[in-house]
Amino acid sequence: MSSSSPRPATPRRRLHPAAYLSAAASLLALVAAAFSRALAPRFPSPPDARRCRPDPEGSWSAGVFLGDSPFALKPIEHWGISADAGAAWPVANPAVTCADVAEAGSPSSFVASPFLFLQGDAIYMFFETKNPVTLQGDIAAAVSKDAGATWQQLGVVLDEEWHLSYPYVFSYNSKVYMMPESSKNGDLRLYRALDFPLKWTLEKVLLEKPLVDSVIINFRGSYWLLGSDLSSYGAKQNGELSIWYSSSPLAPWNPHRHNTIGSMDNGSSFRNGGRPFVYDGDLYRIGKQSGGVSGHSIKVFKVEILTANEYKEIEVPFVFDKPRKGRNAWNGARSHHLDVQWLPSSQLWIGVMDGDRVPSNDSVHRLTIGYMFYGVTLLLVLLLGGLIGAIRCTIPLRWCAPHIEKRGDFVHSKQQFFLKYKLSSLFSSLNKLGSLLGGRINYRTWKGRVYVVLVILVLIFLTCLGTHCIYGGNGAEEPYPIKGRYSQFTLLTMTYDARLWNLKMFVEHYSKCASVREIVVIWNKGRPPVLNELKSAVPVRVRVEDKNTLNNRFNIDEKIKTRAVMELDDDIMMPCDDLERGFKVWREHPDRIVGYYPRLAAGTPLEYRNERYARQQGGYNMILTGAAFMDHGLAFERYWSKKAEVGRKMVDSFFNCEDVLLNFLFANASSMSMVEYVKPAWAIDMSKFSGVAISRNTQAHYHVRSKCLAKFSEVYGNLSAKRLFSSRGDDWDV
């Protein structure tokens, strides 16, 4: 019998440290790619959503304001002006954007510096539009025939080979003139309208100076030209005002005795920011002041003395309600131009102001920060490689050996030797540091692996931050226009004292959504909150009810200032972009209920089923009104009609089914489907964390709703036919 010798054990292969480092680098690349893809919009914008092309100078647009005086201007949405053609109830700012100009056939990345010109019942707006192809400013125009509510784009009306902006338009001797900024051409030019407002010709060069933000005014029998020359030695960014005077805009101009008038040393703002105006016999000048990183602000100055030998002005209060929605507001970051004029047809003052939602150089700042995070990540990867022994970097000291070509060049040789000596000392120190750090972490031990994992987690975090800065956009959740018009809606939520913490988060979050005009809190039970407990960017109104009933959700409220309301439970959190998409769909279908939670009532008798079942069946016929848009005049009147009385009693009996009843009332009013679904990017039910949900027992809740369906179908007939998912064509109802 032969004995067999034991087989030698196969040694276990150990991965080289470089393999771990390569795996970590590959992981970071995958994280960056996946995160950048996740930052892309989940839902595509429809063709008419019309976003502007990003521009390093900002995302400027123009808004319309009205007021009893130039010092009491309110945005146009404050006045409740509607425009059926654009489904805007009410019309809201911005009034003109670069997307409007682009749709008219002229590429544009922003619009700024608007000026008004009144001619009969028509209001013309001239403004700078930046061409993203030529990267220079042109002058475009729009016209309004309804007191500034809506604007028709006329396209680019003046285009030169150099940059144009600040299109100051005025009339003289029954002719219309335009004096745009043309400082890039080194002069100040005056154009005359040949075919107003579309065709212009050069009338004359007024001054051989590269003036910016120049205006001409007729005051007390003389014409005055005010502008800033930023090309002069020591000129400040905010400008130094220079003045010329003449007997006519076309006559020679004489310089003011004290040119230049002032500097920024005293803190005043001298650069023009719009057209001067006369109010109660006094002349006021609009100035703009640079705000550094945050942008610009508008100042108003009362001109006390204006003569050929003297000029004096003082700043006067100009109170303007600054938006509190940050980047979600079209002018949330800065404004730098205002033009106001008396509007005889409305007996009001009308003003146009430009605004930007992001600070100056925002895109450059985000790009710089993003690459800084990437740089730190790379350094940490190299450090990790050194610590685990995957990278051994030794700088050869021979690189620092002095090399002397000529014996006679003693001074140069001495300097070279000294520099090489310093470099040699530095490289030697770095080599010692590398030797000390090299292999300090033994990745084969559990403790070393923990260190490696922690470092990799930090690297992933830094990679995500850098990717977000570069690919995450400017962070704004913008509204979606219809036919170039924007609008607003009122947010309604019903709650009680046990859910106050939900309400605080709800108000703070949704008040920053661009199209939210007001938040109305329907308070059903308990001590109502004090308004200063709620942090909000829009007005909040608490409507205290006498009775705790779900019918209160649809109480007729004459104080609501918008046609659209969104009923939203206080425990639902979703992004503002979801609200904006839903609002756009409702504006396209204002006679329907538009919401985010579809349901299907099917079977004989009708049975209440959830969204999963509805998707399995391919359609829905109800929308939960806990997150839905509707016309409050239409919906609330139907709910409180005599016909709905039986249903309201059932709602009180079951303390449930108010949304089911409203769906029946809408379905009963038309043979067509009266519901529209919008898929949210994400939504969180906060009641899961609070324990105060109304319908915690889902099975019992659905059973009660099935009872309601049976009763409502007897009284109001059946629900409308099933509406298919993905049937609207905007890819928002998938």
CA distances from 705 to 92, 494, 604, 659 (A): 39, 20, 14, 10
Catalytic status, residue 570 = no
Query: Which H or E element spans position 383?
Result: helix 362-387
- Which residues have C-beta within 8 Å of that of residue 430, sequence separation ≥ 6? 395
Q: What is the DSSP letter of 434?
A: H
CA angle 525, 529, 532 (to 5 degrees): 170
DSSP tag of 515? T
Q: Rounding to the nearest 10 degrees, give the CA dihedral for residues 519, 523, 527, 530.
A: 10
633, 638, 640, 643: CA torsion to nearest 10: 160
Q: One-letter amino acid identity for 574?
A: M
Q: What one-character-per-residue DSSP string does 226-290 give?
A: EEEETTSTT--TT--EEEEEESSTTS--EE-TT-S---GGGS---SB-S--EEETTEEEEEEEEE
Encode 83-115: b = buried (16+ Cβ within 10 Å), e = exposed. beebbbbbbbbbbbbbbbbbebebbbbbbbbbb
Ramachandran angles phi, psi of 141, nearest 5°: -140, 155
The residue behind tokens 């001074």 is 411
Give 718's contacts (C-beta < 8 A, 6+ positions apart).
606, 667
Q: How far, in Å, CA of 102 to CA of 196, rounded?
A: 21
Read off the tokens for 628: 């839905």
List strand residue ranges (DSSP E) for 14-135, in order: 61-67, 73-75, 111-119, 122-131
Strand 165-172 and strand 73-75: the pairing is unpaired
- Burial (CB < 10 A; 0-12, 13-18, 19+), residue 417, is middle
Phi, psi of 601 (to 5 degrees): -100, 115
Distance CA(206)–CA(592), nearest Å, equals: 59
Q: For residues 513 and 575, is the Cβ–Cβ distance under 8 A? A: no
Of the residues 631, 659, 730, 733, which is catalytic?
659
Of 629, 623, 517, nearest to 566 by C-alpha is 629
- Nearest CA among 661, 658, 656 for reference residue 704: 656
Contact by Cβ (8 Å): 241, 228 = yes
Distance (Å, rounded) from C-alpha 574 to C-alpha 576?
7
Does residue 611 contact residue 598 with C-beta atoms inside 8 Å? yes
Q: Which helix (H) or strand (E) holds 38?
A: helix 17-39
Cα dihedral 87/91/92/97 (nearest 10): 70
What's the distance, CA 666 to chain centroid?
Answer: 34
State how far the Cα of 121 lies from the Cα of 105, in Å rounded to an integer. 26
Q: Which residues are catalytic?
A: 659
